[in-house]
Structure 1
Amino acid sequence: MRSIKIFALAAGFVTAVMVLAAFIIPKAKAPEKNKMIADGKGFAVIELFTSEGCSSCPPADELVARIQKEDKDKQVYILAFHVDYWNRLGWKDVFSSADYSKRQNEYANWLNLQSVYTPQIVVNGKKEFVGSEEGTLRNAITAGLRTNPAAALTLNTQKGQDHITIQYRVNGAEKNTDLLLALVQKAAQTKVQRGENGGRTLSHVQIVRKMQSLALNAGGNGSTTIALPEGVNAQDWEVIGLVQNQNNGEILAAAKANFTATANMGK
């Protein structure tokens, strides 16, 4: 009889310990369904507005060159737009264009800015900051790569004697969106003779040399041609395409292609 009581007491003690442990030992947390995970499907479009006539611009040019080298295997697209409003101050930037100054002013409207400046960076058409702010740029790239794109863009290119033919397909684009196609020279150097950078040799990457904007049709498919400058070496050039909302400037998809390659990006 005594042994039965002892067994009953022991069993009761074990049960009490197990109940107490259930309250003390934390349960494993269920995974957060809505947690943002870097899955490699996102993209970051970096638009740098710069000028060879601006003494504050070389650090920004150097920063995007480092980013290009570090992130060459990621969905990171760099476009360097050389604006023309510095040209009147002693040095004409050979890569500059009034079209690129116009694009920068479009961002000023989209982002409710009082004025434009150089160097300025805009990422994915949504966030702008001083072009030499490395930490801000790296954080913006990380955020872009973690965000699933709203649309998808495919580019096919074929080089002719004096032009390049681009076939494109866009899926998932919203209303009021355009396709921007940029002809990009991957690298160049300039020995600046006058102005704020007079006497310096400046290195540039991802220089936009021509830009074409196309309204998308209902199917999102089409083709176009871009004339090429003389003496173009196909290995040193590429095409970058952006699908952009014309109401707010947000970039919905991006892709790039060499002159003889196909690219499937942005989804």
Structure 2
Amino acid sequence: MKVIKIFFIVGCLGTAILLSGAIAIASFRKTAVGNNDKGFALIELFTSEGCSSCPPADELVARIQREETGQPVYILAFHVDYWNRLGWKDVYSNADYSKRQNQYASWLNLRSVYTPQIVVNGQQEFVGSEETTLRNAIKSSLRKISAAKLILDQVDTSGRQFRLHYQANGADGHTDLLLALVQHSAQTRVKSGENGGHLLSHIQIVRQLKQIPLNGKNSGTASLDIPQHTDAAKYGLIAFLQHDTDGEIIAATRYK
């Protein structure tokens, strides 16, 4: 199947669907340090269970994650919702993630959006299954010196939240802090649509995304809800700094 391009109106960010299940809450106090002036690669994959071109991209980022363990390579899988009307509703999809993808269309002067699409550090986009392009983008990003640094400390998950203090060095008045709650992995048996009959595997699924305008302030506190009745160990936190004028991501870090 060919990559399908679909255009949508740009909108604001929001909160995704929550999971249900048994809850196991753990408490942590740990420091997650940002790039420390080293390069990093934040990979945003826009994907859908309803798109037959997407599984190869999902598999590619899973390989990258295994190979880049311990490196400042951060993966976020955003499941868009515009495929839902075409035969299969992706349980991980959210209209706000489609709107984020359209924001990139505006920032990067694209005429349309499509799946699978990858955006690296908010500045480079390409078809999500293009392995050589992705690997080259990661190598190039890791070689760059970062102008900013993001530090998370006092991270605590004891109250059904990731509660944290952040320090954003090198951020200006047009920078936002974004916090992404990610589900580490999942599998879905798709029953209809283009992937009907297939078992799909996913990693780093974004379940919530919170945007905090810094307004020139380089430190503060924030929180992100952990879904109730779920195991907190299934989730992680990726935080990054992004310019609201052009989408450039200038720092990123994770907490697991």
Partner amino acid, structure 2, of 1:219:
K
Which of 140, 143, 158 in structure 1 is aligned with 2:140? 143
The residue number in structure 2 matching 1:197 is: 195
**Aligned equivalents of 2:243, 2:69: Cα separation in 1:** 26
**Aligned equivalents of 1:166, 1:81: Cα separation in 2:** 23
The residue number in structure 1 matching 2:222 is: 224
Moved more, 215-224 or 169-178: 215-224
- SS for the counterpart of 1:235 is helix
- SS for the counterpart of 1:132 is coil
The residue number in structure 2 matching 1:3 is: none
Which of 111, 121, 127 in structure 2 is aligned with 1:124? 121
- SS for the counterpart of 1:125 is coil
| Residue pair 1:50, 1:120 contacting (<8 A) in 2 also | yes
Query: Who wins on radius of gyration, i.e. which is larger?
Result: 1
Shift of 1:150: 1.4
Q: RMSD of aligned C-alpha atoms? A: 1.4
- SS for the counterpart of 1:45 is strand
The residue number in structure 1 matching 2:98 is: 101
**Aligned equivalents of 1:63, 1:40: Cα separation in 2:** 27
| Residue pair 1:110, 1:249 contacting (<8 A) in 2 also | yes
**Aligned equivalents of 2:231, 2:73: Cα separation in 1:** 23
- SS for the counterpart of 1:197 is coil
| Residue pair 1:51, 1:83 contacting (<8 A) in 2 also | yes
The residue number in structure 1 matching 2:247 is: 249
Shift of 1:236: 2.2
- SS for the counterpart of 2:113 is coil
| Residue pair 1:241, 1:256 contacting (<8 A) in 2 also | yes
The residue number in structure 2 matching 1:4 is: none
Partner amino acid, structure 2, of 1:123:
V
- SS for the counterpart of 2:102 is helix
TM-score (norm 1): 0.80
The residue number in structure 2 matching 1:209 is: 207
Shift of 1:220: 1.1
- SS for the counterpart of 1:117 is strand
**Aligned equivalents of 2:222, 2:180: Cα separation in 1:** 12
The structure that is helix-richer by fraction is 1
Query: 1:26-175, aligned counterparts within 5 Å?
Result: 41-156=38-153, 157-175=155-173
Which of 209, 230, 233 in structure 2 is aligned with 1:235? 233
| Residue pair 1:40, 1:146 contacting (<8 A) in 2 also | no
Shift of 1:40: 8.7
Partner amino acid, structure 2, of 1:164:
F
Moved more, 135-144 or 153-162: 153-162
Q: Which runs of 5+ in 1 are unaligned?
A: 1-38, 259-267
| Residue pair 2:47, 2:117 contacting (<8 A) in 1 also | yes
Off by >4 Å, runs of 4+ in structure 1: none
Partner amino acid, structure 2, of 1:135:
T
**Aligned equivalents of 1:159, 1:178: Cα separation in 2:** 23
Q: How many pairs were matched up? A: 220
The residue number in structure 2 matching 1:6 is: none
| Residue pair 1:40, 1:145 contacting (<8 A) in 2 also | no
Q: What is the aligned-residue identity percentage? A: 60
**Aligned equivalents of 2:173, 2:228: Cα separation in 1:** 37
Q: Which has the higher contact order (CA 8 A, sep 6+)?
A: 2
Q: Which runs of 5+ in 2 are unaligned?
A: 1-35
